[in-house]
């Protein structure tokens, strides 16, 4: 059994990008620049955005952070988006979600110029993904593809069961794993809360991608010997054994499932750390004009 190390893989990718940025700087090319918009004072969102900006600085990208109080109107936010869409310094930008209730996430996402949508949430980029065209794949699915690729996990002809059909993880994952590409070429079963025979389906799976958000849901009696298990779930539960008073659990009952697996991602340290690497890869692609030529 091999435990897939997302933290190490993410650092490797960041180092590779840092080298590329050095080369770009040495040749006098344009330094990739990521901008982020943060609305309100949600502690979680602030931490995520701060860490994204810090990582940009570490690897040599330019970055800018625009902060607004949660009283900003939708119209004002759309004006800022238009400004970033037209700013030649900014290669890509993200808007930390969720937004306050009076602002429509969808309207905001659709206002981002697809060529600068490095989160990959714009309908144009989701459509391009479905058509297997060059695009920005959103952070979590892109991170999972990277892990499969870097651990050289065979996917062609395999049966992949995806648990959960959210727009940000399960649905795109099911499309990507079925694409005529590597990683991909799987026979995919997309399961969700209305699926009746989940255990039976999981027992047939060579690859299981669990993204339903229910702590330790996937147990050993649902997994066949030699399977590859990717655990996307993150549930925070109280713990008196950690300094913070919290611990993170995945959707997989790791201790009992891991011994049956060929490969498995842990939580924390599996899929989670890959999201930042994905965002940086997308920003690099944007600065090179690799998606929208």
- Point out which residues bind ligand NAD (CB under 6 A): 140, 163-166, 168-170, 191-193, 195, 198, 211-214, 232-235, 271-272, 275
- Name the residue nearer to ligand NAD (CB basis): 63 or 275: 275
How far is the C-alpha of 94 from the C-alpha of 116, rounded, in Å?
9
Which backbone phi and psi does 252 adopt, to 5 degrees? -115, 135
Q: Rounded to the nearest whole angstrom, what is the least distance from the CB of residue 198 to ligand NAD in the complex?
A: 5
- Name the residue nearer to ligand NAD (CB basis): 62 or 272: 272
How far is the C-alpha of 193 from the C-alpha of 185, rounded, in Å?
25
User: Annotated catalytic, 146?
Assistant: no
- Name the residue nearer to ligand NAD (CB basis): 208 or 212: 212
- How do 187-191 and 227-231 pair as beta strands? unpaired
187 close to 159: Cβ distance less than 8 angstroms: yes
Beta bridge partners, 189, equal 161
Residue among 5, 14, 52, 80 flagged as catalytic: 52
Q: Which helix (H) or strand (E) holds 66?
A: strand 62-68
User: Annotated catalytic, 52?
Assistant: yes
User: Annotated catalytic, 96?
Assistant: yes
Q: Rounded to the nearest whole angstrom, what is the least distance from the CB of residue 25 to ligand NAD in the complex?
A: 30
- Beta carbons within 10 angstroms of residue 66's beta carbon: 15
Q: Rounded to the nearest whole angstrom, what is the least distance from the CB of residue 80 to ligand NAD in the complex?
A: 25
- Name the residue nearer to ligand NAD (CB basis): 192 or 260: 192
78 close to 111: Cβ distance less than 8 angstroms: yes
Residue among 119, 206, 231, 251 flagged as catalytic: 119
120 close to 129: Cβ distance less than 8 angstroms: yes
- Name the residue nearer to ligand NAD (CB basis): 84 or 145: 145
Residue among 5, 96, 115, 116 flagged as catalytic: 96
Q: Rounded to the nearest whole angstrom, what is the least distance from the CB of residue 34 to ligand NAD in the complex?
A: 18
Angle at 96 between CA 20 and CA 271, to 5 degrees: 60
Q: For the chain, count helices (H), then strands (E).
A: 10, 11
Q: Rounded to the nearest whole angstrom, what is the least distance from the CB of residue 273 to ligand NAD in the complex?
A: 8
Structure tokens at 121: 């949430």
Q: What positions carry a catalytic annotation?
A: 52, 96, 119
């Amino acid at each position: 059994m091999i435990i897939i190390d997302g933290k190490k893989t993410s650092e490797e990718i960041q180092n590779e990008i840092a080298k590329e940025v050095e080369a770009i700087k040495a040749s006098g090319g344009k330094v990739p620049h990521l901008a982020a918009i943060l609305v309100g004072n949600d502690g979680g969102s602030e931490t995520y955005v701060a860490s994204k900006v810090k990582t940009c600085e570490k690897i040599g990208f330019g970055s800018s952070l625009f902060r607004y109080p949660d009283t900003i109107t939708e119209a004002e936010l759309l004006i800022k988006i238009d400004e970033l869409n037209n700013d030649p310094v900014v290669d890509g930008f993200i808007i930390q979600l969720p937004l306050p209730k009076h602002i429509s996430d969808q309207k905001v996402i659709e206002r981002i110029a697809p060529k600068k949508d490095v989160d990959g949430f714009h309908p144009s980029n989701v459509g391009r993904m479905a058509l297997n065209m060059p695009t920005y794949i959103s952070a979590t699915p892109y991170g999972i593809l990277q892990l499969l690729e870097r651990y050289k996990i065979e996917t062609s002809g395999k049966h992949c069961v995806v648990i959960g059909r959210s727009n940000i993880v399960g649905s795109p994952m099911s499309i990507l794993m079925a694409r005529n590409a590597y990683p991909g070429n799987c026979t995919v079963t997309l399961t969700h809360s209305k699926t009746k025979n989940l255990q039976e389906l999981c027992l047939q799976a060579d690859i299981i991608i669990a993204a339903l958000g229910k702590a330790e849901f996937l147990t050993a009696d649902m997994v066949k010997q030699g399977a590859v298990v990717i655990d996307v779930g993150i549930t925070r539960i109280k713990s008196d054994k950690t300094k913070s008073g919290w611990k993170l659990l995945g959707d997989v009952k790791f201790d009992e499932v891991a011994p049956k697996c060929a490969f498995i991602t842990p939580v924390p340290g599996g899929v989670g750390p890959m999201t930042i690497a994905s965002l940086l890869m997308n920003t690099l692609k944007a600065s090179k004009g690799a998606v929208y030529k």
